[in-house]
Chain A
């Protein structure tokens, strides 16, 4: 469980986050949705410790991050898996080495034992066969999947994904969504996912935070999100034609 309390963050005097309170629950896929530029990535980076919030508290399983000692911070970072918006794979390493990297950094096991785990994870994201390729030699969607494999290889306690399925075809996107949800349940971890994808909201939106201009404008789950009368939310969700039609049908009672 991760709880954020009253998070404020400004860049050059411009306030990007204006006091966010939210509880990201353990064992659930927690979604952050909202328009481009609404501060989703910044909130995630604050939770990861990449940005220091100007104000507010972030608690990991009840303990404020500011009270962590250096060693505890280091332990915490071993328990975090992160899928960056652009993948952030290491260009100088092959797919296999990218996934092996966190294991190699933090465990003392033999390479062959670690490779078993790497291959297991690569298989899980359907990437067996591309182990020896470099990130520049595989497609964007494959890079995303490698990035997911790298994030989960160390069995993290907290998994963060910044648009894990943007740029993927609907089928692969669904596979990725289901994979993340499975892992979340299987390992009973706290997963935070930023998404633009309404399909994902529908599939795995167990706990949703809707950000608008740096404010938490709405929260709820996937059933509530399609029933709510809150206009800021409906404006955002039904901006897609498909969902608009679904909505009209719903209202007609079909």
Chain B
């Protein structure tokens, strides 16, 4: 019953977000600010994580390849598939649910408890549009983050596999090109767009509709992380089922 109420409230919120628009010149500034806060500021951590995860995947695969009949090129193949299909889009998005998500929840939540949202409403501004729409638009650039994550994941795998002496550079490059299915990229980016939308709106929902004071803002951030992750994982399952099987 409670969940149904929240889901309904979430969709009503979306209606408000795309409802009466804020003045264009103001929106433009807000969008650039959000790109800076949500996207640019996450690039460092994403690059770091992707590189090392790619490396670990390569080492794990190489260490488990004890059967001489299986070619060494499989190391690169396995790294490519796991990075493109899951590690970059899904794993990084879960990390972003913690970073970007809790930032969104706490910034909107603290505006909520200090009556800043009321102040916007009194001025006749559609606060849902003003606060959330720029975040949704800024998150349209999120696929670039994931593209960088994919690239650096594979660079990490190459570094670990070749420098670690598991595979020769030629074998790695060959494996990287084995059986490449471009549809896998389409699949990865379709889900990335969905995750971007979830990352902007689910945490915003938790901030906008929370009640209480500073303590509750902290709690809302935690709840928001849990729910954003859950929604991402479930969406991942559904999209995979629909597109790949």
Contacts and interface: CB of A to CB of B under 8 A. Distances in A.
Indicate, yes or no, whether A interacts with B. Answer: yes
A88 B116 CA distance: 5
A161 interface: no
Contacts, number: 48
Contacts of B110: 91
Interface in B98-131: 110-111, 114-116, 118-119, 121-125
A14 to B, nearest CB: 16
Interface string A81-112: 01011111111000000000110110000000
B122 A80 contact: yes
A48 interface: yes
Given A48-B122, A50-B122, A105-B125, A86 B114 contact: yes
Nearest to B130: A105
B26 interface: yes
B124 A77 contact: yes
A105 B115 contact: no
A252 interface: no
A89 B116 CA distance: 6
B123 A77 contact: yes
Contacts of B116: 88-91
A234 to B, nearest CB: 33
Contacts of A89: 116
Contact of A88 (B22, B23, B115, B124): B115
Interface in A56-96: 73-74, 76-78, 80, 82, 84-91
Nearest to A83: B119
B122 A104 contact: no
A18 to B, nearest CB: 24
Contacts of B26: 104-105
A74 B22 CA distance: 12
B35 to A, nearest CB: 15
Nearest to B113: A86
Nearest to B23: A105
A50 B123 contact: no
Interface string B15-45: 0000000110010000000000000000000
Contacts of B121: 49-50
A50 B124 contact: no
Interface in A194-233: none
A84 B123 CA distance: 12
A91 B112 CA distance: 12
A100 to B, nearest CB: 11
B17 to A, nearest CB: 18
A232 B111 CA distance: 37
Contacts of B23: 104-105
B118 A50 contact: yes
Interface in B122-148: 122-125
Nearest to A90: B116
Contact of B124 (A73, A86, A90): A73
B123 A86 contact: no
Nearest to A81: B122
A50 B121 CA distance: 8
A73 B125 CA distance: 11
B114 A77 contact: no
Contacts of A82: 119, 122
A99 to B, nearest CB: 13
A104 B122 CA distance: 15
B123 A88 contact: no
Interface of A: 45, 48-50, 73-74, 76-78, 80, 82, 84-91, 101-102, 104-105
12 contacts: A50-B121, A77-B124, A80-B123, A82-B122, A84-B119, A88-B116, A90-B111, A91-B116, A101-B123, A104-B23, A105-B26, A105-B125
